[in-house]
Structure 1
Amino acid sequence: MLNPHWLRSFTALVEQRSFTRAARHVGLTQAAVSQHIRYLEEQFGALLIRRVRSLELTPAGAALLDYCNEIDEADKRLRSKVSDAEADKGVVSLITPESVGLALYPLLLTLQQEHRGLIVCHRFATDSDVLDAVLRKQYELGVVSFEPDDARLASEPLADEPLELVVPAGIDVQNWSDLERLGFIDHPDGVAMAPRLLAQRFPGNPGVRTVPQRGFHSEIALVLEPVARGLGFTVLPRHARQAFARADAIRIVDCGTPVVETLRLIHRAEWPLTARASWVVSQLRKRPPFTRGSVVVGSG
């Protein structure tokens, strides 16, 4: 790597167009600046054409100036990433399950509108993929539906998200056999979510795996389409149901006391969150549905 002092002398000389002014600019003697330019020219050949009262860059000099500018821009990007001075500017990266993401992403976009220097990178993923992405430092923040037991991860409660049993409109569900006739529309977290809610509504049931599977979709926002067409039932978080446009085509089965998942915000435990991430989290906590003590969505 080139000596940064040599490069500083070179860029000062290009800007000031004078060895005397360049030396004054960098706080060195004129002889020192001349020596730095000589060291660079020994490696790259002539960098400057010296004329009376002016300097002209050679092609090698222009290439070296581009290199110096690239280093300067990289330095600025680095300082921006680690600086706490402007918490509402720069990139914040977040990976979440799709359901809570459907509630989070509009809020993140609103923050971007209010703070144009903020850049949001958000991805939907399953709980296991969220853990992996945060551990690999691909995303700074993640949201999962359980408390991780990995010492490399710090976690804190974010909100509670109720689960719902959703059937086609007009279908009356009284017994487990009604669900068996309908069949199950699965999604990536479906088999994990369903037992907790179904055990409350149908105690002693033989388990959702005994119910015929009528379909599967990896996008939770689309799972309700086959339900709306009468092809089966599903269990999913309330916000995914509320995001479905055809509300009149589905029905929520009353399962008594709500069964909720406590969503937890996670990040690497070995170092503190960046100022940007901390600021974004604080802003989200001021806005429904993530204010303290709230569930992810309302009951409507």
Structure 2
Amino acid sequence: MINPQWLKSFATLAELRNFTRTAERLDLTQAAVSQHIRQLETIYGPLLIRRTRQIELTPAGIALLEYCEEVDRADKRLKLRLTEADIHCGELSLISPGSIGLSLYPLLLALQQENPRLAIRHRFAPDSEVLNAVLENRYELGLLTLKPDDPRLTASVFAEEALELVAPAGAQVRSWEDLASIGFIDHPDGQAMATRLLSRCFPGSPGVRAIPSHGFINQISLILEPVARGLGFTVLPQYARQ
């Protein structure tokens, strides 16, 4: 079995990318940290690319870091089982697109009210950020609008939500040309959502990128404001529109 202290030194170095700061955090000498890394490299080969002011991980280093993270999660699960810790105590971290988040957040707050020792950490983000945040273990759970194909993740269906085309009041949308004349109001997941919906409503169309962009906004509560002012149409999930 690998020495846990070696793994701890390596994982901390991978986070801080600096031997001196790693030694300070772990209350070790820099020589001790270096020795731990050498021991690991004797077993697994080169783990680091040492540059003048930067440290990078080799492919073997990335694989070992993923192993360290797996060990850390397993250790936490074991401690939870052995101590019979209260499952309603601690932090729950969730990252999701804004629309489903608007629906979920009041339910999470109600859960926290029932369990005051529970802390809810919920971030709204587009699909790409959700995926990276879960892969990097910055959040425990993530919701995506498409099933991820990364083998490091497990995914299951959580909910269904309709996509809606939202246009200014009085606008006539009968053809692709009507949409092009109105213009598109984009948001972080706007291109992907519009492509999914419009490809079904207008098969054979040139795609949303061919429609003039009349604006972009990343605040979900404000996306419909330019639409209401007649500046363009957008595509949103149902919860967001509601």
Q: TM-score, normalised by structure 2?
A: 0.64
- The alpha carbon displacement at 1:87 in A equals 1.3
1:167 alignment partner AA: A
1:134 alignment partner AA: V
Partners of 2:178 and 2:236 in 1: CA distance:
18
How far does the alpha carbon of each residue in 1:15-67 deviate from its partner, in whole angstroms, 9 at most, with x for none? xxxxxxxxxxxxxxxxxxxxxxxxxxxxxxxxxxxxxxxxxxxxxxxxxxxxx
- The alpha carbon displacement at 1:228 in A equals 0.6
Partners of 1:142 and 1:84 in 2: CA distance:
26
Residue aligning to 2:185: 185
2:235 alignment partner AA: V
- The alpha carbon displacement at 1:188 in A equals 0.9
Residue aligning to 2:209: 209
Partners of 1:135 and 1:203 in 2: CA distance:
35
- The alpha carbon displacement at 1:84 in A equals 4.5
The structure with the larger Rg is 1
What aligned pairs does 1:225-264 form with structure 2 within 5 A after superposition? 225-242=225-242
Partners of 2:133 and 2:94 in 1: CA distance:
10
Structure 1 pair 84/156, CA: closer, same or farther in 2 (3 Å)?
A: farther
2:145 alignment partner AA: S
Partners of 1:232 and 1:84 in 2: CA distance:
55
* 1:156 has 2:156 as partner: yes
2:204 alignment partner AA: G
Partners of 1:84 and 1:101 in 2: CA distance:
31
Query: What 5-or-longer segments of structure 2 have no aligned partner?
Result: 1-75
Partners of 1:202 and 1:130 in 2: CA distance:
29
SS at match of 2:156: strand
What aligned pairs does 1:1-300 form with structure 2 within 5 A after superposition? 82=80, 84-242=84-242
Q: TM-score, normalised by structure 1?
A: 0.52
Q: Which has the higher contact order (CA 8 A, sep 6+)?
A: 1
Partners of 2:196 and 2:122 in 1: CA distance:
28
1:87 alignment partner AA: I
- The alpha carbon displacement at 1:154 in A equals 1.1
Which is richer in strand? Answer: 1
* Aligned partners of 1:99 and 1:221 also within 8 Å: no
Partners of 1:205 and 1:213 in 2: CA distance:
16
How far does the alpha carbon of each residue in 1:158-185 deviate from its partner, in whole angstroms, 9 at most, with x for none? 0011100000112121111111111000
Which is richer in helix? Answer: 2
Structure 1 pair 168/135, CA: closer, same or farther in 2 (3 Å)?
A: same
- Tell me how large the CA RMSD over aligned residues is: 1.9
Partners of 1:238 and 1:109 in 2: CA distance:
21
- The alpha carbon displacement at 1:203 in A equals 2.3
Q: Percent identity?
A: 60
